[in-house]
Amino acid sequence: MKWTQIDVSTGSRTQLVEITGAVADEVGKSGVASGTCHVYVPHTTAGLTINENADPDVARDILADLARLVPAGGDYRHAEGNSDAHVKATLVGFSAMVPVIDGRPALGTWQGVFLCEFDGPRRRRVLVGVAGE
Ligand code: ZN
């Protein structure tokens, strides 16, 4: 499988950045008509999720609930001071697989792929690999 990289600049400490278009571009460039698209975030304080991209309040609500579940000022030992970001990234995970059908990511009508920034703003990398059947 050939892997390519998407560069993402995030704009705040926590943010869901939609990368659906960039992922679809990589699928298109791969020439694969039927297969799988793997998306991977090689970071420890950013993750990846697939969720609704129609109503931006959904992303806002996800971030708000993660902040409630994993407070920034928790009882942490990690000296870097960003343990909440590490915990949130582990909760959402670092990868996703999207089926490729007819040369496109077969996402649901309301689904988008999001880089989840938990310790920004930073420059982040996302790896995309597309494999045919
Ligand atoms: Zn850290």
Query: How far away, in angstroms, is 17 Cα from ligand 1 center?
Result: 21
Per-residue model confidence (pLDDT) at position 133: 80
Q: What is the distance in A from the centroid of ligand 1 to the CA of 45? A: 7
Which structural domain range is residue 29 located in? 2-132
Measure 13 CA to ligand 1 centroid, in angstroms. Answer: 13
Give the containing element (helix H, strand E) for 131: strand 123-132
Whichever domain contains 6, its CATH number is 2.60.120.460
CA distance 9 to 123: 4
CB burial string 23-38: b at 16+ within 10 A, e below: bbebbeebebeebbbb
Please tell me the distance between residue 43's alpha carbon and the centre of ligand 1 in angstroms: 10
Per-residue confidence (pLDDT) for residue 86, from 0 to 100: 98
Residue 35 is predicted with a pLDDT of 98
Neighbours of 84 (CB within 10 A): 23
pLDDT in tens, the chain (133 residues): 889 999 999 999 999 999 999 999 999 999 999 999 999 999 999 999 999 999 999 999 999 999 999 999 989 999 999 999 999 999 999 999 999 999 999 999 999 999 999 999 999 999 999 999 8
Cα four-point dihedral sign 80, 86, 87, 88? positive
* Ligand 1 geometric centre to CA of 75 (Å): 14
The phi, psi pair for 89, rounded to 5°, reads -65, -40
For residue 6, how far is its CA from the centre of ligand 1 (angstroms)? Answer: 23
Q: What whole-number distance in Å separates Cα of residue 43 and Cα of residue 17?
A: 15
Number of separate domains in the chain: 1
Residue 94: its pLDDT value, please?
98
